[in-house]
Amino acid sequence: MDERLKKRIMMFYFAGVINAFLGAYVAIEGRAFLPPETVRWLALFFFGFAAVDFWFPRVLKKKWQEAQRRLQEQQAAAKGSDK
């Protein structure tokens, strides 16, 4: 896999962990200094972004694998037509 893609995927996972931690912090400690409605929206916001940060690398991997498969098929077709 391309190193740039690996780095991007790792950054998404890192951001997902940070967002999950912030969501948990707001859900647990936010009640002491925020209204309940704000706590719910902020926690939902952070957990939603954490979910996206963990889902998106899977999409990137699938797209990369599909592109590699198409590239291999094109190379195989080119070799077959050269004969």
Return the domain boundaries, the chain. 3-82
For 60, residues 6+ apart whose C-beta sits below 8 A from its C-beta are: 5, 8, 9, 12
Report pLDDT for 3: 87
**Residue 61 pLDDT greater than 80, yes or no:** yes
pTM over 0.85: no
Report pLDDT for 77: 84
Q: Which residue has the higher pLDDT, 80 or 35?
A: 35
